[in-house]
A and B are shown apart, each in its own frame.
Chain A
């Protein structure tokens, strides 16, 4: 069965393969499959040139503890950054999303993967994610309405919407 992802509010087929070296496998020598490929940060660091020389799109998959600053300079060449949520309650990836979008200016596909369920989608989207690969077995179509759980937001976040107090009808006062 082809895997599905939610991207820009629609369910689509997933074209990406992921390479995360197995236990004992060296990032420097692991085989790189053909086609669009996202790799773990250690593989990226070991094989950056090789990966960039391929004709197919490349991406990086970050773990919660990975510092996105490490790929900041490469972002214009990455077609995908996936952020893994090994456990739903581990919220570090939300900050990763914020940093990629707002601090490092990443414009490509930012995908939440791992233990991701529909009830997290709204916050993930506000943190800058535009793609979601739900936990194995979860129904992506049923999840779509959750992206619209709230029509408004008070604060600014990874999605770069201005805080509500700056969007009020009559803006009084200015930023210091």
Chain B
């Protein structure tokens, strides 16, 4: 992974000093809350329901074991012994104290971490594929470009006070695990017929109040032009994006208002001034950064394939976990492993300090001391020897990190919602838990097969409900909490937005509603069709009939 050099270290240290002074002035009454707000937000510090919330950046989801141990320590010393992984591959602490935030940032700086630009109207943490560099379906490893983007966007002076937050995702595999179609800018790395590396540039996608699939603004941008082209897009947005209405200020609204062709023309006109200038990337720079992501020293494959087959045959639980939580790897004899943070009864994405320490140990022992955070709020050990899987599974299971549910209904993606977030319309964690409890029969769960269920506590869509096969959105009706349900959303290369099935439900109804949707699916599925495929094939009517038909009967009973 990327290791800090002198400039990275000095910038992060200077940021800590800067924020320490800003916090001091704020607490001394020299810097008003209004003036302090944009500064603290650009250091990841929100004010939430109970206390500030601090969001730590995990650039493109990559962590070392030493960094994870530091996160565990901070959870113990400054928080309540746990943290929460978000859908943007970051980590949030829910209970830090404002006065201690500079201390926390200083501790993070010791291991090359920070909270820079994890909030505020600036370029946020770059996200990418959590299987980058190991996925067999990958044609370009996006990590070096992601790191180049991290550096470029960090403290970019011109783009720190944009109309609104700005999210960039990067992917280079056949399966788009970074949702490039649903970001302010999505970059999809590919090679052209001549074998040259380039990027498909997608602009104006996003969830939130106005969910939109992004538009392709350029089909093939040579990689050397990545920064100049992004600068052109950001400058057009910074100058012309709306600032009068919070809900219309994302770039997707600008693209929509201008029309994609006019938007593209503006970007290209701006870019004409920039192409070939000093921000044009060099082979040397790509090589320098790529060297940080060189493959680890894999051992040559041995005879563990047979041992693994034997182990799988001997233990049903291990086999079940293997099937769901272990993923193919391009290196023979190796696998990628998901450690599930979706155990029933634990808020999705939450992890205790002890679990963090354990995962750090597992990473050291089995995965070259590194791990990743997935946007589905799980942890990934990307380079595990097949012969280590059984031992790894046993230790993960003891720690509650081996729920065999990746890709299944109980692997719920869920925002913190009304329990923590000041913006929420409704709670999301208890709804997730109630649904998990209803589907606690593993055989049934596995029979249902792949199903993404996403919950957001409000229109900000942090739980990505629009792209859940089943999406649940907290809504406010006259001061009480209700849930709107959509189906048919999908992530990836064929990203689709879910369709709302009808009037919203009370919290207590939600497990029954999901059950009804699943039963309708089971009644209609053919072959090994997934839930979402069935929805796309037969439409939402049969699902609606099932859910609302029952509801009416219940009401009349």
Contact = CB atoms under 8 A, between A and B. Distances in A.
Interface of A: 88-92, 94-95, 97-98, 103, 117, 119, 122-127, 149-158, 162-166, 168, 170-176
A127 B14 CA distance: 19
A125 B160 CA distance: 13
Given A95-B235, A127-B157, A164-B151, A152 B11 contact: yes
B11 A150 contact: yes
Nearest to A119: B39
Interface in B130-164: 151-162
Nearest to B5: A168
A156 B279 contact: yes
A123 B160 contact: yes
Interface in B161-186: 161-162
Chain B contact residues, majority secondary structure: helix
Contacts of B39: 119
B238 A119 contact: no
A122 B286 CA distance: 28
Contacts of A154: 7, 11, 151-152, 154-155
A166 B278 contact: yes
B283 interface: yes
B158 A94 contact: yes
Most buried by B among A117, A119, A126, A153: A119
Given A92-B239, A165-B288, 20 more contacts: A88-B35, A88-B38, A94-B157, A94-B161, A127-B157, A127-B158, A152-B7, A154-B7, A155-B156, A156-B277, A158-B157, A164-B7, A165-B282, A165-B284, A166-B278, A173-B282, A173-B284, A173-B287, A176-B276, A176-B280
Given A119-B22, A175-B276, A94 B282 contact: no
Given A152-B11, A154-B152, A173 B157 contact: no
A166 B7 contact: no
A172 B284 contact: yes
B434 to A, nearest CB: 40
B210 interface: no
B305 interface: no
A172 B273 contact: no
Given A157-B158, A173-B284, A174-B282, A95 B151 contact: no
A122 B157 contact: yes
Nearest to B152: A155
Contacts of A122: 157
B238 A91 contact: yes
Given A150-B11, A173-B283, A157 B157 contact: yes
Contacts of A94: 157-161, 238
A174 B285 CA distance: 10
A103 to B, nearest CB: 6
Contacts of B285: 165, 172-173
Given A95-B239, A119-B35, A172 B287 contact: yes
A148 B478 CA distance: 51
Interface of B: 7, 10-11, 14-15, 18, 22, 31, 35, 38-39, 121, 151-162, 222, 224-225, 227, 235, 238-239, 243, 273, 276-288
Nearest to A126: B157
Closest 4 CB pairs of A and B: A91-B161, A172-B284, A173-B284, A173-B282
Most buried by A among B157, B160, B224: B157
Contacts of B7: 152, 154, 164
Contacts of B18: 149-150
Contact of A151 (B10, B22, B121, B151): B10
Given A98-B235, A156-B279, A172-B287, A91 B162 contact: yes
Contacts of B162: 91
A175 B155 contact: no
9 contacts: A92-B238, A95-B239, A119-B39, A154-B152, A156-B279, A165-B284, A174-B282, A175-B277, A176-B280
A151 B285 CA distance: 21
Contacts of B288: 165, 168, 172
B295 to A, nearest CB: 22
Nearest to A123: B157
A139 to B, nearest CB: 9
Nearest to A153: B155
A140 to B, nearest CB: 14
Most buried by A among B39, B152, B239, B287: B239
A153 B277 CA distance: 17
B219 to A, nearest CB: 19
A175 B408 CA distance: 48
A175 B282 contact: yes
A123 B227 CA distance: 19
A157 B160 CA distance: 12
Contacts of A156: 277-279
A117 B281 CA distance: 34
B224 A176 contact: yes
B160 A103 contact: no
A150 B155 contact: yes
Contacts of A163: 152, 227, 278-279
A155 B284 contact: no
Given A95-B235, A119-B39, A123-B157, A166 B14 contact: no
B160 A162 contact: no
A103 B31 CA distance: 35
B273 to A, nearest CB: 6
Nearest to B285: A165
Contacts of B22: 119
A172 B283 contact: yes
Nearest to B7: A152
A172 B284 CA distance: 5
Contacts of B280: 175-176
